Amino acid sequence: MHYFAYHDGVLHAEDVSLPRIAAEVGTPFYCYSTATLVRHVRVLEEAFAGQDAVICFAVKANSNQAVLATMARAGAGMDVVSEGELRRARAAGVPADKIIFAGVGKSREEMAYALGEGIFSFNVESEPELRALSEVAEGLGVTARVALRVNPDVDAKTHAKISTGKSENKFGIPYLDAPRLYAEARTLPGLDVSGIHMHIGSQITDLAPFRDAFRLMRDLTLELRGAGHAIHHLDIGGGLGVPYRGSNDVPPHPDEYAALVKEALGDLGARIYLEPGRMIAGNAGILVTRVQYVKAGAGKRFTIVDGAMNDLLRPTLYEAYHEVWPVLESRLAGPRVLQDIVGPVCETGDYLAIERELPAFEPFELLAVMTAGAYGAVMSSTYNTRLLVPEVLVDGSSFAVVRPRPSYDDLIGLDRLPPWLES
Ligand code: LLP
């Protein structure tokens, strides 16, 4: 559920009309809804009420400081994958003891920084990383709490590029190696081995892969405890899908997901950590773009808009489907035309939607690309020397630009001429 809806025939973000924001900010821009972000945290909290569970928002999904500060005030912890994300989470006011640091390639510098901040735990993904973390912690005279990320070899039945829990994926340690590596970890002086981590993929719309993974996590917890390891926390990752196609793809409700967690892991007496990204931010954001031209192609129409693949990479990178809504509701009553919604970037893959039956959009009208709040702005670039897309946060009847559009001088000024090309 989200708070983007038509009021008096015009699409609004909560109580703010999108044309009003467009007039002030220009297009394209991302627009996020505070009420939607907070609602998703509450829905998860309610689903997990009665379980000892901590929600750590996956910062990679949307790392705008205003979004993170909203999450922090809603009480969420954070899952970070770099020093940069850790710095963002801390700057947004997230207590260090609610932060988990994941990722296959943490550098020693990043480990030292995170230890200095006093984060809750590291999710370690390999044997050499275990050793490196122990050395860094020992050098600093501290102990690093760790969970090992275990790859359960479960098929998440999602897009191949966002599936992480198969044995051929780079993530985690093989399930069968876990007993040996936990035994080794216990001998390392800088580590306090406390948990198990699993994350099998993203945009998962079926509970079955979760059920399989949680069952394996349960078995492993019992086995490791049997071998004398104190397993205090279970980090079950993120991955819960969102409905990109309205009522046509309905992901499991958080209540069903929470019931599954309780059934599989509830009696183990371990604290559960969740790392949701998309489920919280996905439909809390949209990309608003303006039609530039309409061109008749051979057999279909091209609606050329000012947003492009550099602003929202998901359609071309993952063949992802995002609904496109006209900002004026009256356009929904007109006839539908087969069309591609494309941007100005010089790539055939530059589209926001392809082969869609949509209203016959006209130049200058505003369109909203829906469910773009997760993995949208964070994956944007300046390809084709396009300015980084601005971000706006709405709260009730207020809105604020939370990342302004840079100037061309800002962008080009990042480059430097070498001495031999100066003057
Ligand atoms: N935890 C770990 C260890 C992860 O790798 C991820 C996502 C999450 C949590 C959050 O997953 P979520 O709840 O958002 O599904 N750019 C892609 C998605 C990449 C996901 C990477 N890892 C996309 O746009 O679909």
Average predicted confidence (pLDDT) for the chain = 96
Mean local confidence (pLDDT), 69-78: 98
CB of residue 237 inside a 6 A radius of ligand 1: yes
What's the rounded Cα separation, in Å, for the pair 137 and 132? 9
Residue 164 has pLDDT above 90, yes or no: no
Say yes or no: do domains 4-31+282-412 and 103-274 share a fold. Answer: no
CA of 202 relative to ligand 1 center, distance in Å: 5
What's the rounded Cα separation, in Å, for the pair 100 and 120? 6
What's the rounded Cα separation, in Å, for the pair 60 and 78? 10
Read off the pLDDT band of 18 (50, 70, 90). Answer: very high
Ligand 1 atom 6: the closest Cα is on which residue?
238
Pocket test residue of 37, 44, 60, 380 for ligand 1, highest count of atoms within 8 A of CB = 60
Whole-angstrom Cα Rg for the chain: 23
What's the rounded Cα separation, in Å, for the pair 227 and 370? 49
The answer to whether 346 is a known catalytic residue is yes
Residue 212 has pLDDT above 90, yes or no: yes
Residues 6+ apart with CB under 8 A from 21: 13, 29, 31, 288, 392, 394, 399
pTM over 0.75: yes
Mean local confidence (pLDDT), 61-74: 98
**What is the residue whose two structure tokens read 């998703």?**
40
- In CATH terms, 103-274 corresponds, of 3.20.20.10, 1.10.1040.10, 3.30.70.580, 3.40.50.11540, to 3.20.20.10
Q: What is the pLDDT of residue 142?
A: 98
pLDDT in tens, 298-353: 888 999 999 999 999 999 999 999 999 999 999 999 999 999 999 999 999 999 99
Read off the pLDDT band of 119 (50, 70, 90). Answer: very high
Read off the pLDDT band of 246 (50, 70, 90). Answer: confident
CA of 146 relative to ligand 1 center, distance in Å: 20
Every domain of the chain and the residues it spans: 4-31+282-412, 103-274
**Buried b or exposed e, range 225-236, using 16+ CB within 10 angstroms:** eeeebebbbbbb
Residue 166 has pLDDT above 80, yes or no: no
What's the rounded Cα separation, in Å, for the pair 111 and 134? 10
pLDDT in tens, 259-308: 999 999 999 999 999 999 999 999 999 999 999 999 998 888 999 999 99
pLDDT in tens, 372-386: 999 999 999 999 999
Residue 168 has pLDDT above 80, yes or no: no
What's the rounded Cα separation, in Å, for the pair 222 and 231? 9
* Class of domain 4-31+282-412 (CATH, top level): mainly beta
Ligand 1 atom 7: the closest Cα is on which residue?
202
